[in-house]
Amino acid sequence: MFKVTIAAALSLCALPLAAAGAPIVYECEYTAHTSYGWIPDKAAYVVDDAAGTAMAYDAYIHHVNKAPLPVTFSVVKERKYLMKWTLTGLPVRGNRTATATYTVRLDAARSKATISARVHGGDGSHRGTGACKRVK
């Protein structure tokens, strides 16, 4: 079901950026280096470095926002990007929820990304690495 959702989201999240330039969609598959969750298996990013904008979408964003999320974005070097966002209301045990800040370093030239999630009030951060492919 998430694969269908991500495909639909890719087309939707590219629309607001289309007027700003030629956005590029990247789909990344992550391997978590933690057993506690918080790292998505898959994620999609729409990057328009000329406009300085980006959006992110994964299962956690879908749960909280139901749609792709505009993120804080910067170009580190040519085809290397840094994205950050915070999600509030992520479910944990019982009826409790948590807030987590995510950071993604996308190296489009090498088709790789790293992701980290810092759960507010938690101990440490959770990390993952993945391969990415250009979709559009």
Burial class (CB in 10 A: 0-12, 13-18, 19+), 77: exposed
Please write the tens of the pLDDT for every residue from 53-84: 999 999 999 999 999 999 999 999 999 999 99
Q: Judge whether residue 4 has pLDDT over 50.
A: no
For the entire predicted model, the pTM comes to 0.86
Q: How far is CA 36 from the centre of its chain?
A: 18
Rounded to whole angstroms, the Cα distance separating 128 from 116 reads 6
Rounded to whole angstroms, the Cα distance separating 7 from 91 reads 24
pLDDT for the residue 17 = 46
Q: Judge whether residue 12 has pLDDT over 70.
A: no
Whether the CB-CB separation of 115 and 107 falls below 8 Å is answered with no
Rounded to whole angstroms, the Cα distance separating 32 from 20 reads 33
pLDDT for the residue 122 = 84
pLDDT for the residue 16 = 53
| Domains of the chain and any CATH numbers | 2-134 (2.40.160)
- Does residue 97 or residue 21 have the better pLDDT? 97
Residue 18 structure tokens: 């289309």
Please write the tens of the pLDDT for every residue from 19-51: 546 899 999 999 999 888 899 999 999 999 889
The pLDDT > 90 percentage for the chain reads: 72
